[in-house]
Amino acid sequence: MKLLQTKLARYTAPQEAKAAGIYPYFRAISSEQDPEVIINGRKVLMFGSNCYTGLVNHPKIKEAAINAIKKYGTGCAGSPFLNGTLDIHKQLEARLAEYVGKEDAMIYSTGFEVNLGVVSCLTGREDYVIWDEQDHASIIEGKRLSFSQSLKYKHNDMESLEKQLQKCAPDKVKLIVTDGVFSMEGDVANLPEIVRLAKQYDATVMVDEAHGIGVFGKGGRGTCDHFGVTDDVDLIMGTFSKSFASLGGFIACDKEITNFLRHHSRSYIFTASITPASTAAANAALDIMESEPERQEHLWELTNYALEGFRNMGCEIGNTSTPIIPLFIRDNFKTFAITRDLLEEGIFVNPVVSPAVAPHDTLIRFSLMATHTKDQVTTALEKIQKVFRAHNIVP
């Protein structure tokens, strides 16, 4: 066996979890990502999806994707930089810029590639990338590729952020990058204070709205709109793989920034363009988000109902105030075992263990969609209480 294989063979955690009957990943679904899905031939309530709008099975979105394939084919066979730009790409970019309140927008093939390609190339060797310690992995990978100095601040801690800003040379670029809604624990960034500090220290602000769009703000425009700081946030990132019920991502900002990114962002220049079907699906989803505010209203009704239910149950749910509800277990083995037991009870949830969170912060991630019913949430609360009691998580 070669050295690489010998080294990697020492990684046995998945095999150990499988042997213990608690391996929780790659559970094959044989139906749509609806509130109910089919796994191993049986119906299961889905509380692990990121599609907060619940649009992934909407007939108008399916029709738009099918029509795009009929007109444009299944792929672009090249990057946007060369032969991969379609008229529908440009049309969607214009709509997204207007939607989030920016001058211009660029579409990438995935949300991960947005953060990777933007954070890695905007700042130079003498500049700074300042990031929240619980930012998404794509932001962390982007700052790793950047030649800039990397400064981490404590999670949502504005005193820690200011201390990092004070370390920076006044005449150098300072890019503050934060999630709007943090994807694992569901809490919301303190954007008003981040913006205030950015003004004080002449910093640039980038907000990842992957989990904010479709949830916060008028017409689901995100946390920047919710807090009224859109004009003060320089770059707004979004993904199509969640509320937009598609695949891809975008960055919205002024034209000076997009002009630079279009000619320097490697994950944009050297990756094939988003497919016609994904583009049309995201565009149709945007139509629905803007025209059906009742979806967002229902999502918040369910969120508040579930939050109250988990608090009354005695669950530890941290600082969440969103449809992402962390149920802290604080033990890897128990987290996997509870995930298995809940699936047996007909409830699909996601386990979150290190390195996604610290080892002592392992949790079950429970997330809601606008297409869930109150009865389905009630059933989930009852099943979770049963399983949690069996594992001595709640009284």
Give per-residue pLDDT as tens, 289-339.
Answer: 999 999 999 999 999 999 999 999 999 999 999 999 999 999 999 999 999
What does the pLDDT read at residue 357? 81
Average pLDDT of the segment spanning 1-15: 94
Domain-terminating residue out of 249, 271, 291: 291
What average pLDDT does the structure give for the chain?
A: 97
Active-site position among 174, 211, 298, 334: 211
What does the pLDDT read at residue 356? 75
Structure tokens at 219: 């017409």
Do 28 and 83 belong to one domain?
Answer: no
Whether 223 is covered by a domain: the verdict is yes
Strands 128-132, 174-179: parallel, antiparallel or unpaired by DSSP?
parallel
Q: Verify whether residue 242 is a known catalytic residue.
A: yes
Distance in angstroms (rounded) separating the CA atoms of residues 123 and 305: 43
Do 97 and 224 belong to one domain?
Answer: yes
Q: Verify whether residue 120 is a known catalytic residue.
A: no
Distance in angstroms (rounded) separating the CA atoms of residues 118 and 69: 29
Whether 177 is covered by a domain: the verdict is yes
Domain-terminating residue out of 291, 323, 348: 291
Do 248 and 284 belong to one domain?
Answer: yes
Q: What are the beta bridge partners of residue 208? A: 179, 237
Which amino acid belongs to residue 238?
A: G
Do 287 and 330 belong to one domain?
Answer: no
Do 71 and 172 belong to one domain?
Answer: yes
Whether 235 is covered by a domain: the verdict is yes
Do 284 and 183 belong to one domain?
Answer: yes
Domain CATH for 74: 3.40.640.10
Whether 53 is covered by a domain: the verdict is no
Do 221 and 287 belong to one domain?
Answer: yes
| Domains held by the chain: number | 2
Q: Percentage of residues in the chain with pLDDT exceeding 90?
A: 97
Could you report the per-residue pLDDT of 202-255, keeping only the tens digit for each? 999 999 999 999 999 999 999 999 999 999 999 999 999 999 999 999 999 999
Do 216 and 286 belong to one domain?
Answer: yes
Q: Give residue 297's domain range.
A: 15-46+293-390
What does the pLDDT read at residue 358? 80
Block residue for tokens 């609360």: 381
Cis amide leading into 24 (omega within 30): no
What does the pLDDT read at residue 354? 81
| Helices 374-390, 293-313: crossing angle, 10 deg rounding | 30
| DSSP E strand stretches across the chain | 36-39, 42-46, 104-108, 128-132, 149-153, 174-179, 204-208, 235-239, 249-253, 324-328, 347-348, 350-352, 363-367
Do 332 and 240 belong to one domain?
Answer: no
Distance in angstroms (rounded) separating the CA atoms of residues 201 and 141: 25
Do 342 and 276 belong to one domain?
Answer: no
Domain-terminating residue out of 240, 260, 291: 291
Q: Verify whether residue 183 is a known catalytic residue.
A: yes
Average pLDDT of the segment spanning 71-99: 97
What does the pLDDT read at residue 131? 98
Could you report the per-residue pLDDT of 130-188, keeping only the tens digit for each? 999 999 999 999 999 999 999 999 999 999 999 999 999 999 999 999 999 999 899 99
Do 336 and 278 belong to one domain?
Answer: no
Do 249 and 322 belong to one domain?
Answer: no
pLDDT category of residue 283 using cuts at 50, 70 and 90? very high
Active-site position among 120, 138, 148, 183: 183
Whether 311 is covered by a domain: the verdict is yes
pTM: 0.96
Whether 52 is covered by a domain: the verdict is no
| DSSP E strand stretches across 171-312 | 174-179, 204-208, 235-239, 249-253
Whether 308 is covered by a domain: the verdict is yes
Domain CATH for 368: 3.90.1150.10
Active-site position among 242, 298, 334, 372: 242
What does the pLDDT read at residue 355? 75
Strands 204-208, 235-239: parallel, antiparallel or unpaired by DSSP?
parallel
pLDDT category of residue 360 using cuts at 50, 70 and 90? confident
